Amino acid sequence: MCNQLTIQQVKDMLLHIADVLIQKEDELGEIDRHIGDGDHGTGMATGARAIQKELKEQESTSVNQVFRQSGIAMMESMGGASGVLFSSLFLALGKIEPEAPEIDVASFSDGVSQAVKDIKIRGRAGLGDKTMLDALEPASVALIENKNSTFVEALAAAKSAAQQGVENTKGYVAKFGRAKFLGERSLGYQDPGATSIAMIINEMYQFVKEEFK
Amino acid sequence: MKKILNQRETIITDMLKGFVKAEKDHIAVSKENDRVLYRKEKQEGKVGIVIGGGSGHEPLFFGLLGKNLADAVAVGNVFAAPTPQTVLAAIHEANQGEGVICLFGNYAGDVLNFDLAKEMADTEGIAVVNLAVSDDIASAPKEYQVDRRGIAGDLFVIKEVAAAAAKGYSLERCQRIAQECNQRTYSIGVGIKSGTNPLNGKPSFILNDDEIEYGLGIHGEPGIEKMPIVSAKDLIKKMYLALDQEIKAYVEKEVIVCVNGLGSTTLMELYIITNELIDLLENKGFLVMDTVVGNFCTTQEMAGFSLTVQILTEELKELYQMEATSPHYFHKEGY
């Protein structure tokens, strides 16, 4: 069955993402150093370790709960803007109705588009402001367009859209976060938050590709 | 990186434990959240003062827990705002039933986390006012004063708002004073050499030996421009001219001044800077009521400094003159 992810699969997928975020700590930090203070990788790795601890130690009775546990673990461990904003992605996926032991592409896509809405309200940013939204919103659009496809097809489209979104941020002047104080000096550099989003979605894709091959 | 640490996972807890041991008679760790410290002695019937932000800027923020200063502090990870749960626990420690005012630097992360904590406190029936300090004139033009980031100006805002709370003023009055304090506080900074983030051992920016970063923030974010290093006189003149654009229109001419070191700039240099700044202010007709020189808001071992000028009103002056005592800052009239 290629169109649903079980509790265990969602857990394994998030643990896989956490592993990669920890491995990529230095790479993300390097990207952040150009336009921020260079600690984005450290923040994401802190959140990733908290997710690992939570998911390995706690039972989950629905996929929603796995996402909520991950979101809360990030929010309680990371701090900073990314703590609130990245946890919003998982908390929105945790809010999908009804609570269920599996998730299909349509519900997953709805969860991600809810996350885009939540992050816009919370962070008061929009497309083109050189933030994580520049990767997440196009990915969300790609997911909705593919909501009747398989997870592999939908996430492949989302991954490409997110990567293109990261490329696009090089041409934007930062309007939010610490990079906004750089103005024109932020041009030419990709946004670290958007990079992390693209990384997360790419690893979701890699995971389902392996899982359903 | 050459720093005296244990493992990086425990940097913040090791530091907080040491601070609490050193200040054991006066400061304790919250039972609700170990990233929250509070002042043991409670003054009843006053507005609570919560301060907080990322770590790495010591003595800000916890060094300002004290008499007629802050009641509780929310401590974040290195250069990262505290979580909403941490801020909420600090609000609980500071709350005496008269409401709580939270003071923090104006950064996206701090605003997001303090706003979430305020929403959580609202549902518990605790009245909370958030004020993001925005004193760094290099970070946004005058028309966007509320968008500016918060640097060493935190010190004067915390000092005066905490004095207002200690005098028993209402939450509304403290809020008005906080806004006024913040509007009248202007800073600008210069970086000479980067500090090192203790988590990853890397400098936040690279400068050549003959270069300085003009207008940088306190997280090592790059500033407005890199420029060649010049004499103290020429540099302070350039910085003063930027400050003068902000302060020249005020009718009030009485000011307080802070010359803040960013970590490894010597007191020798800070007093050379002070000498130039006070001359420039006095030549422009300002009356310097008081000057504070030292390391209050740092970025690890970054070399550099910031200048802060606050234009006083009669009310702010009275608040500034109130005695205040804490581990890393005090104010006493006469010595």
Burial class (CB within 10 angstroms; exposed 0-12, middle 13-18, buried 19+) of B10: exposed
Q: Are A93 and A67 in contact (CB under 8 A)?
A: yes
Which residue is closest to B218 within chain A, CA to CA?
A37
User: What digits encode the pLDDT tens for the residues B114-138?
Assistant: 999 999 999 999 999 999 999 999 9
Residues in B touching A182 (Cβ below 8 Å): 221-222
Q: Is A67 exposed, middle or buried (0-12, 13-18, 19+ CB in 10 A)?
A: buried
Q: Which CATH class is domain A4-211?
A: mainly alpha
Lowest mean pLDDT among A62-66, A87-91, B219-223, B281-285: B219-223
- What three-state secondary structure class fits A52? helix
State phi, psi for B315 to the nearest 5 degrees: -65, -45
pLDDT of residue A1: 53
Q: Report chain A residues whose CB lies below 8 A from the CB of B218.
A: none
Mutate to test the interface with A, among B87, B221, B262 (most CBs of A within 10 A): B221
Q: Are residues B135 and B193 in the same domain?
A: no
Q: Domain for residue B3, yes or no?
A: no
B89 and B165 belong to one structural domain: yes
Domain-located, residue B72: yes
Q: How many CB pairs under 8 A join A and B?
A: 104
Residues B81 and B102 in one domain: yes
Residues in CB range of B9: below 8 A, 6 or more apart: none
Biggest alpha carbon–alpha carbon distance for chain A? 49
Among the residue ranges A33-47, B65-79, B86-100, B266-280, the one predicted with the least confidence is A33-47
Confidence band of A3 (pLDDT split at 50, 70, 90):
confident
Q: Could you check whether the bond before residue A98 is cis, i.e. omega within 30 degrees of 0?
A: yes
- Report which of B153, B68, B171, B164 is spatially closest to residue B106, judged by C-alpha positions: B153
Q: Does the structure show a pLDDT above 70 at A73? A: yes
- Burial-class residue B134 by CB neighbours within 10 Å (0-12, 13-18, 19+): buried
Tell me, yes or no, whether B18 and B31 share the same domain. Answer: yes
CB A92 within 8 A of CB A35: no
* pLDDT mean over A40-47: 94
Residue B1 lies in a domain: no
Give the ipTM: 0.82
* Angle at alpha carbon of residue B136, lines to A173 and A179, rounded to 5°: 25
Name the residue among B47, B66, B50 with its Cα closest to residue B173. Answer: B47
pLDDT score for B205: 81
Residue in chain A nearest B223 by alpha carbon:
A182
Mark yes or no for CB contact A181/B81 under 8 Å: no
Q: What is the pLDDT of residue B219?
A: 76
Assign residue B216 the CATH number of its domain.
3.30.1180.20
Active-site residues of B, by number, are: 57, 219
Ranges A155-159, B223-227, B247-251: which has the least confidence: B223-227
Asked whether residue B220 falls in the same domain as residue B156, the answer is no
What is the structure's pLDDT at B199?
86
3-state secondary structure of A42: helix
Q: Find the CB nearest A79 among B80, B140, B149.
A: B80
Q: Which domain holds residue B127?
A: 11-183
pLDDT of residue B223: 75
Query: How many other C-beta atoms are found inside a 10 Å radius of the C-beta of residue A110?
Result: 21
Per-residue pLDDT, averaged over B141-168, amounts to 95
Q: What is the pLDDT of residues B260-313, one digit of tens each?
A: 999 999 999 999 999 999 999 999 999 999 999 999 999 999 999 999 999 999
In a domain, B301, yes or no: yes
> Is A33–B202 a contact, with Cβ atoms under 8 angstroms apart?
yes
Residue of chain A nearest B83, judged by CA positions: A79
pLDDT one-digit tens code per residue, B24-48: 999 999 999 999 999 999 999 999 9
Domain boundary among B121, B152, B183: B183
Residue with tokens 């008499």, as numbered in its chain: B67
Query: What proportion of chain A, given as a percentage, has pLDDT over 90?
Result: 84
Instruction: Report chain A residues touching chain B, CB-CB < 8 A.
Output: 25-26, 29, 33, 35-39, 41-43, 46, 75-85, 122-123, 176-182, 185
Above 70 in pLDDT, residue A178? no
Binding-site residues on chain B for chain A (CB distance < 8 A): 54, 76-86, 107-109, 112-113, 116, 138-140, 147, 149, 197, 199-200, 202, 204-205, 217, 219-222
Looking at residue B203, its pLDDT comes to: 84
**Residue B289: Cβ within 10 Å count:** 14
Q: Which of A42, A78, A82 sits opposite B200 (nearest CB)?
A: A42
Nearest to B153 by CA among B81, B256, B268, B54: B256
Same domain, B191 and B174: no
**What's the token pair of residue B279?**
């001359």
Cα A152 vs. chain centroid, distance in angstroms?
17
Residue B164 shares a structural domain with residue B310: no
Domain boundaries, chain A: 4-211
Cis-peptide, bond into residue B286, ω within 30° of zero: no
